[in-house]
Amino acid sequence: MVDRSNLAYKFQEVEKKIDYTYLPEQLKYTSVSLSEVFSNKLRLEANAFNLESKVAKEKVVNNKYGFVNLWSKGGLVENAFYPGRFKRIYVSKSEGKEFFLPSQMTEIKPKATKYISPKTYKSLDGVEIVKNNLLMSRSGTIGKCTISSKTNVGKLYSDDIIRVSFKNEYDLGYTYAFLQTNVGQIILQTNNYGAVVKHIEPEHLQSIIIPNAPENLKKEIHELVVESYELRDESNDFIDEAEKILYEELQLKPIEELEVEYFDDSVDLRNYSTKLSELRFRLDGSYHIPIVQMVEQEIKRHAKDISTIDQLSKNIILAGVFKRTYVDKENGVPFLGGRDITQLNPQVEKFLSKTVHSSRIKKELEVFENYVLISDRGTIGKVQIVPKHWNGWAVSQNVIKVIANSNDLAGYLFCFLNSDYGQVLIKRETYGSVVDMIDDKNVDGIHIPVLKNQQKQKEINELVLKANELRYKAHLKEQEAIKKMEEILENKSGALQVQKC
C-alpha cells in the first residue's frame, strides 16, 4: 500500500501538475571522466562536454564507415590557418580593392562597403581567397561555412576567417556538407572558447571527428556541393548582366564618378543648400546630401518616366513589433531576421508558433517567391528577391516586404534597388537618433526609372527571375548533399546503396 503522506510521493504529485511549456529548460547534467578532461586539453567549461555533443559524436563513431579526425595524419585536412592581424588603410573605391567582413562570408552575393590600399594587403600572405578552400568564421558567430568559388576567389577577407585546404579535392565538398548538418555544427560549436566573444582556432579541427566514407561517396557529395556553388555563381552573373543593361539604358556612370558640388568650397567642411520646396518636412541634413540630388537627376535624364515603388507595387508591408512565441521546427514557421535574407540557405534557429501567430503570419510576416525584401534597420538597404524555397516562411519587423504588381516587374524592381543608385535612394530615407531605420512609409515614395526601351526592361526582369530560379536549384543541390551525409550519420541503407553504384 502506498503511503500518501510521504513527502516524496507528494512531491511527485506536484511535479505531474507543473506545465513546463513557458518555463526554462530543465537542468542538463552528465558525468565526465578524468581521461575525457585530459583528451580535451584540460578544458573545464561545461560546453566542452555537453550532452548534445556526446550524442553527435556517438553518431559519427558508430557510422558504418568508421571515422577520422578532420586534421590528422590520416584525416582530410592538409592545412588550416588565418592571416595575422594587420593594419588596414581604407581608401576610395577607385584607389583600393574590395574588402569583405566575416559577416558577409555566407552572403550569396556580397557587396563590399570598404576598400583597402594595396600598400596594406600586397605584403601579406593568405588575405586573398584562393580556390578549393573551405572558409569558416572563427569569432563571434562561429562555425559559419562556405567554400571558395568564383564569387569570392581573389577577394580580400579579414583575419576572422579560417582558410582550410584539403589533401584531396573531393574532401572539400564532403567536409562542407558534414559541417552543414546538425551533427557537424554541434561538434564544431563544442570546441569554442571565450567568456564574452566566442572563438575557435585552426587547431580545434584536430579534435573534430568526421565519417570516413568511401572515395566514390565523398566525390558524389563533393560534386553536389560544387554544382550548388556553380549555380550560385551563374545566378550572380545574371544579376550582374541585368545591372549592366540597366546602366547602359540609363547611360549611368559608376556612382563614384559623380562629381558632387558643395555650396562653398573655400572651407574645409561639406556644406550644401536645399530649396524649401524640397524639404518634404525632413530637417535632418543626411536627407538632403548633394549625391542624392545628383542620383535623381541622372536616373531621370534618359528614363521614359519616373515612378515610385508604391505605383509599381500591390503592397508594401512592414510588420509591427509583437511578442513572439517560438516552438520546435515541426510545429513552427521558419523565422528570418534582417541578416538572414542575404543568404541562400540561412541556418534557421527560430520557428514561430503556427497556432499563436497564424493570423499575423498570414497578414504581415509570410513571404513568397519574387517578393522583394529590404532590411530596414541596423544595416539598412540590403535587398533580396525571395527564392522559391522560402515560400511560406516568415520575416521579422526588421524587413520590409515589397510585392510588385506582377512578376513582370519584380526582377526589374530588385535590380534597380540593388544597384548603387538604388542604394543611395533607399539609405536617404534613414532616420533615428540611436538606431538607424527606415519604414514602409518612407520606402513607398522612392523613385524608380521606367526605361524607354521596354524590351530591355523586360530582359532585365527575366535575367533576375532566371537568377532566382538558379538559386532555388542551387539550394536543392546542397540539400541533396546534406541528405546523403545525414544518411551516413544515421547509418541508413541508402548510404550503402550509393557506395555500390
pLDDT of res. 224: 98
The pLDDT of residue 8 is above 60? no
pLDDT of res. 498: 37
What cell numbers appear for 394 in the block?
A: 516568415
Q: How far apart are the C-alpha atoms of 339 and 341, rounded to whole Å?
A: 6
pLDDT of res. 158: 82
pLDDT of res. 41: 65
Kindly indicate the confidence band of residue 495, based on its pLDDT and cuts at 50, 70 and 90. Answer: very low
Stronger pLDDT, 119 or 377, i.e. the higher one: 377
Kindly indicate the confidence band of residue 493, based on its pLDDT and cuts at 50, 70 and 90. Answer: very low
**Which range is least confidently modeled, 78-82, 90-94, 248-252, 304-308?**
90-94
Burial of 337 (0-12, 13-18, 19+ CB in 10 A): middle
Reduced to 3 states (helix: H, G, I; strand: E, B; else coil), residue 484 is helix
The pLDDT of residue 220 is above 80? yes
- Nearest Cα to Cα of residue 302 among 75, 456, 89: 456
Q: How far apart are the C-alpha atoms of 295 and 340, rounded to whole Å?
A: 29
Contact call for residues 176 and 185 (beta carbons, < 8 A): no
Edge to edge, the sheet with strand 313-318 lists 313-318, 399-404, 372-375, 383-385
Where b means 16+ CB within 10 Å and e means fewer, 358-388 reads eebbeebbbbebbbbbbbbbeebbbbbbbbe
Kindly indicate the confidence band of residue 500, based on its pLDDT and cuts at 50, 70 and 90. Answer: very low
Q: List, for residues 135-185, the tens digit of each pLDDT value.
A: 998 877 777 899 999 999 999 888 889 999 999 999 999 999 999 999 999
Q: List, for residues 190-214, the tens digit of each pLDDT value.
A: 765 544 446 788 998 998 999 999 9
- Nearest Cα to Cα of residue 192 among 147, 146, 136, 148: 136
The pLDDT of residue 278 is above 70? yes
What cell numbers appear for 187 in the block?
A: 561538434
Strand ranges, E, within 75-187: 77-81, 97-100, 114-116, 134-137, 145-147, 156-157, 161-166
Q: List, for residues 318-348, the tens digit of each pLDDT value.
A: 999 889 999 998 889 999 998 899 999 998 9
Q: How far apart are the C-alpha atoms of 291 and 302, rounded to whole Å?
A: 18
- Looking at the chain, the whole-number percentage of residues with pLDDT higher than 90 is 57
Q: How far apart are the C-alpha atoms of 443 and 372, rounded to whole Å?
A: 12
Q: List, for residues 46-58, the tens digit of each pLDDT value.
A: 666 667 778 888 8
Strand pairing partners for 116?
A: 90, 97
**Which range is least confidently modeled, 138-142, 227-231, 417-421, 439-443?**
138-142
Strand ranges, E, within 366-475: 372-375, 383-385, 394-395, 399-404, 447-450
The dihedral region occupied by 476, where left means phi > 0, alpha psi between -120 and 50, and beta the remainder, is alpha
**Which range is least confidently modeled, 20-29, 63-72, 81-90?**
20-29
Kindly indicate the confidence band of residue 349, based on its pLDDT and cuts at 50, 70 and 90. Answer: confident
Q: List, for residues 479-492, the tens digit of each pLDDT value.
A: 999 999 999 998 75
pLDDT of res. 11: 45
Q: How far apart are the C-alpha atoms of 293 and 186, rounded to whole Å?
A: 51
Is the Cα torsion angle 192, 194, 197, 199 positive or negative in sign? negative
pLDDT of res. 24: 57
Mean per-residue pLDDT for 83-104? Answer: 84
The pLDDT of residue 9 is above 70? no
Q: How far apart are the C-alpha atoms of 192 and 28, rounded to whole Å?
A: 19
Q: Which structural domains are found in the chain, ordered by start?
A: 43-212 (3.90.220), 252-301+305-450 (3.90.220.20)
**Which range is least confidently modeled, 108-117, 272-281, 322-331, 431-440?**
272-281
Average pLDDT across the chain, whole number: 86
Q: List, for residues 431-465, the tens digit of each pLDDT value.
A: 887 788 999 998 999 999 999 999 999 999 999 99
Burial of 309 (0-12, 13-18, 19+ CB in 10 A): buried
Q: Are strands 313-318 and 399-404 parallel, antiparallel or unpaired?
A: antiparallel
